[in-house]
């Protein structure tokens, strides 16, 4: 299966250098659909889907491997390097490493945007019961469920410690998850678990020359300073919302405006 199938067009057409938005820990490209639509028609915008999210590919549990694959794909599509990268949360970590990989082969990214993304340092991977509950919490929040409903559902989740009984219990009865097949949840969880492992075992490298913008969600813990010593001279802007709600309403509008403004001068060479 070609990695070209991992690209979802989410907005824009034309010949201007495209923007590639790297999936968060869920592996889903769909949170970027509203962003692509609001970005304007003058520049192509693609969302990157993780291997295994919507197919039978093996989930990738290593940031370096993901970055190598995405960098190779972008080099094939844009040999002159006229691209820009955006990543939300875990996606920012992968986008940063991808930009480094491009730089090392002489195809620098024109812009790197990190949206509410914390710089990683190696740490023990959380145990399975905690990962299972985090997965459901992240999935519901990413789907746009209000924070109070996410908390209520999270509090009602079973205490099972293995995926099969956990998903069977989580989708039983009147649960908000009742319409989801346990098999689908298990497949998506495999991707989530692989990415959490990738995040907790990765150390971000300094040396990126690309222009970088760190977008901080106003209602999230500060993240921009975590990149000190890795990214030098990064711009920082704060937008309305929390870690998930920045992709709607005023937060979405502000992100689109900030990114569009910084890409205004990036043209095909």
pLDDT at 23 over 80: yes
- In the chain, what percentage of residues exceed pLDDT 70? 95
pTM of the prediction? 0.94
Give me the number of domains the chain comprises.
2
Could you tell me if residue 269 is inside a domain? no
pLDDT at 266 over 90: no
pLDDT at 268 over 60: no
- How would residue 151 be classed by pLDDT, with cut points 50, 70 and 90? confident
Q: Mean pLDDT, the chain, as a whole number?
A: 90
Could you tell me if residue 268 is inside a domain? no
pLDDT of residue 1: 58
Residue 63: which of 116, 130, 117 has the closest Cα? 117
Q: Which residue has the higher pLDDT, 167 or 198?
A: 198
Range of the domain at 53: 3-122+202-263
Q: Are residues 61 and 172 both part of a single domain?
A: no
The whole-number average pLDDT for the span 129-156 is: 83
Domain's final residue, options 178, 198, 218: 198
Q: Are residues 8 and 95 both part of a single domain?
A: yes
- How would residue 267 be classed by pLDDT, with cut points 50, 70 and 90? low
The whole-number average pLDDT for the span 93-119 is: 94
Q: Are residues 33 and 117 both part of a single domain?
A: yes
Q: Are residues 55 and 148 both part of a single domain?
A: no
Domain's final residue, options 164, 180, 198: 198
């Amino acid at each position: 299966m070609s990695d070209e199938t991992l690209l979802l067009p989410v907005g824009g057409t034309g010949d201007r250098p495209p923007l590639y938005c790297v999936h968060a820990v869920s592996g889903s490209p769909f949170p970027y659909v509203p962003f692509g639509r609001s970005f304007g028609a003058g520049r192509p915008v693609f969302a990157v889907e993780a291997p295994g999210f919507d197919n039978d590919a093996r989930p990738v549990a290593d940031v370096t491997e993901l970055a190598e694959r995405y960098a190779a794909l972008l080099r094939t599509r844009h040999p002159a390097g006229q691209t820009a990268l955006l990543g939300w949360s875990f996606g920012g970590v992968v986008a940063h490493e991808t930009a480094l990989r491009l730089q090392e082969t002489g195809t620098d990214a024109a812009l790197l945007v990190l949206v509410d993304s914390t710089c990683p340092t190696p740490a023990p991977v959380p145990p399975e019961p905690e990962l299972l509950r985090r997965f459901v919490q992240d999935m519901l929040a990413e789907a746009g469920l209000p924070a109070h409903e996410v908390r209520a559902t999270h509090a009602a989740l079973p205490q099972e410690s293995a995926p099969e009984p956990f998903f069977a219990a989580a989708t039983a009865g009147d649960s908000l998850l009742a319409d989801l097949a346990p098999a689908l949840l298990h497949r998506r969880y495999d991707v989530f678990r692989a990415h959490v492992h990738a995040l907790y075992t990765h150390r971000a490298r300094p040396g990126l020359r690309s222009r970088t913008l760190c977008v901080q969600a106003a209602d999230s813990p500060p993240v921009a300073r975590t990149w000190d010593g890795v990214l030098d001279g990064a711009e920082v802007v704060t937008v309305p919302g929390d870690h998930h709600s920045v992709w709607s309403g005023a937060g979405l509008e502000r992100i689109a405006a900030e990114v569009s403004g910084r890409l205004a001068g990036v043209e095909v060479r």
